Structure 1
């Protein structure tokens, strides 16, 4: 064993030693897409950069991008655990089971999984309440459409995407009873060419407002090219849309990442299911088009304010599904658990869910 003679001498003589610098907390991130997608993964990485700026040399962050959901994700998460990360954030629904398995193997590491529902003593879940932003999107889209037809580019038929489709439809229906929402399933989170094709297919069917649950600005660019409206996904996409940009629904992860890492540092972190929305500034509505009339803008602002204050919840009954079955009683609001398992379209939707 190597002996630190300076330390022995100091202790013998009763001398104080300079405080040893603490090792930085290592924080790892796993992204399903590239950080240059200008959408979901880009915005998570902005949160990582904000974490670095806030804590300085108290943290050491790393990220892995373009990680496939499945075996590749499990290998990546395990590698981050094996290389000494103290906290690991995994940021896509398909990372849920891989994260849970690795968390069980490494009980001393704190794991956070975005958009999932599996928890453990060292595994928490978190998401942004995107359906709040989608309801606002539906309101604005329902006000500006001239064809009464909206288009939605969906990624995968998971509860998060299904409830966001429903939220857009409900928001639009509340201001335009003649609205129809068409859906194209892209079966990808990020594929600009595929996303553009989906946008054009929807516009060929009469949609003049394009909403997306995919991550590139390609749908917005396609909408601009054809003189229609588009909505930014996850980050502020107004620079891509020009006059086509209706608004962007932004996920700001920085406050959550900073607060979570601080709680781990303080030893106060406990596993929870965190949902952050408009009132937390985790969901932000930015870049609302100045092409809206004063009356239209006032209505959009009214909806934002009512959600922000808690006065209004987008999924308040009565709500029926496509078959006419009553799912939510009048005056009741869907719980987190019910929203987390949503696998049905609301009444009035003409699209069908994939098998």
Structure 2
């Protein structure tokens, strides 16, 4: 029988009194914690993390017990949840949203015998690793498809939180849309949240009203797809999950997150006593970023072009940020044939030339 525990919320006096105390050795299965920013049925980001966590449990069987808490706000409440997991005996905790970064570092300092894995962040410690996927690789393919499929030459983009990860994705999609359609425009709406179905739906409707017939998103729910389906004649892309229930129209492809191999590898490292703090950033080639089936709504020649790009990225033969590229001010930041290094990508806080508007602070 596979073991799974939903962490009870509400700190107790016993937890508070034990804060910072060394953990006692646990008998039985190793407890593995997951902290989720959204609900496990959001249809996207959190659901796929949880699906991957369950694959990890299936792999190890009764050797592990899954402890998780969903819908944890990014802030002090996250620190409380992580503390509870430590006191409950978790030996490794995966914190799966950018805004969990500082809470992860803070709790890790209090519990040096627990190891932490933080998704999409950049702060590490002796007992804190970071991991992320090269989503911008998938955005390049989406941009190509969007540029080819739009009839209005207006592409909408629902953006979540203004951090380099999201800005990179917008730039990558725009670069590749413009390559195949020089007349394309991007209309960007920021909602300042990862998951808010009402805001996502409103943003999609606003973009459609502005004439966008393709809508991309870096938000977690399927609400934009429902809005596009209701409007009719609007293409969308699955985000973090395939969202295939909306195919072949409006969803025409997707970026799919596959975290399970990483989770299995890192839990195994704890079991083996070989865990070390690492910084992992993987993409299509390693399988962490998947490209969902391109639906029948896409012409065969366009589908073939997108699949060729996918395969070239996977093989390391093409990089989505290859010069010449200029920023919004017209200043070249990559010369002809030059490829962006990870430092440039990790700190990308500017739009490329051709995108209108400002990145909110």
TM-score normalised according to structure 1 size:
0.92
| 1:284 partner SS | strand
**What's the RMSD between the two structures over aligned residues?**
1.3
2:145 is the counterpart of 1:134 = no
Instruction: Check if 1:27 corresponds to 2:32.
Output: yes
* Counterpart position of 2:324: 318
Could you tell me how far apart the structure 2 residues matched to 1:284 and 1:133 are? 8
Compute the displacement of 1:44 (Å).
0.2
For 2:207, the equivalent position in structure 1 comes to: 202
Q: Distance in 2 between matches of 1:159 and 1:235?
A: 21
Any runs of at least 4 consecutive aligned residues in structure 1 with deviations exceeding 6 A, and if so which? none
Shift of 1:33: 0.5
C-alpha distance in structure 2 between counterparts of 1:335 and 1:267, whole Å:
32
Q: Is the 8 A contact 1:92 1:113 kept in 2?
A: yes
Matched, 1:345 2:354: no
1:46 corresponds to which residue?
A: 51
In the alignment, which residue of structure 2 is the partner of 1:269?
Answer: 275
Q: How does 1:212-223 map to 2 (within 5 A)?
A: 212-223=217-228
Q: Deviation string for 1:165-220 (max 9, x for gaps)?
A: 11110121111111111100111111111111000101111110111111110101
Q: Which residue of 2 aligns with 1:308?
A: 314
**Counterpart position of 2:86:** 81
Q: Deviations over 1:322-345 (max 9, x none)?
A: 001122233222222221111000
Report deviation, 1:241.
4.5
Larger deviation, residues 287-296 vs 236-245: 236-245
Contact residue 324 and residue 337 of structure 2 kept, 8 A = yes
Is 2:336 aligned against 1:330?
yes
Structure-1 residue corresponding to 2:130: 125
Q: Distance in 2 between matches of 1:73 and 1:120?
A: 18
**Following TM superposition, by how much is the alpha carbon of 1:83 offset from its aligned partner in structure 2, in angstroms?**
1.3
Mapped to 1, the partners of 2:116 and 2:48 lie a distance apart of: 19
The corresponding residue for 2:241 is 235
Give CA deviations for 1:79-127 in whole Å, capped at 9, x if unaligned.
Answer: 1112110000000000001101111111111100000000111100001
- State how far apart, in whole Å, the 2-side matches of 1:67 and 1:294 are: 43
How far apart in 2 are the matches of 1:66 and 1:106?
23
1:77 deviates by 1.1
Query: In structure 2, the residue corresponding to 1:243 is in which secondary structure?
Result: coil
Alpha-carbon distance between aligned partners in 2 of 1:330 and 1:65, rounded to the nearest angstrom? 46
- After superposition, where does 1:147-162 map in structure 2 within 5 Å? 147-162=152-167
Provide the residue aligned with 1:298 in structure 2. 304
Larger Rg: 1
Determine helix, strand or coil for the equivalent of 2:318: coil
Following superposition, the deviation at residue 22 of structure 1 comes to 6.1
Q: Contact (CA 8 Å) 1:126, 1:274: kept in 2 or not?
A: yes
Assess if the C-alpha contact under 8 Å between 1:238 and 1:245 holds in 2.
yes
Aligned counterparts of 1:22 and 1:98: Cα–Cα separation in 2: 28
Contact 2:248 2:296 in 1 (8 A): no
Q: Alignment partner for residue 282 of structure 1, among 262, 270, 288? A: 288
**Aligned partners of 1:317 and 1:80: how far apart in 2?**
46
Q: Residues of 1 paired with 2:33 and 2:343: CA distance?
A: 28
* Contact 1:181–1:351, Cα closer than 8 Å, also in 2: no
TM-score of the pair, normalised by structure 2: 0.90
- 2:180 counterpart of 1:172: no
CA shift, 1:351, in A, is 2.7
SS at match of 2:295: coil
Q: 1: distance between equivalents of 2:303 and 2:58?
A: 35
Instruction: Say which is worse superposed, 297-306 or 331-340, in terms of deviation.
Output: 331-340
Partner in structure 2 of residue 15 of structure 1:
none
Structure 1 unaligned spans of 5+: 1-20
CA contact (8 A) 1:24 1:58 kept: yes
2:114 aligned residue (94, 105, 109)? 109
Contact 1:150 1:181 in 2 (8 A): yes
In structure 1, C-alpha distance between the alignment counterparts of 2:31 and 2:343, rounded to whole Å: 32
Q: Deviation per CA, 1:267-308, whole angstroms, max 9, x where unpaired? A: 122111101211111111113111211211111111111101
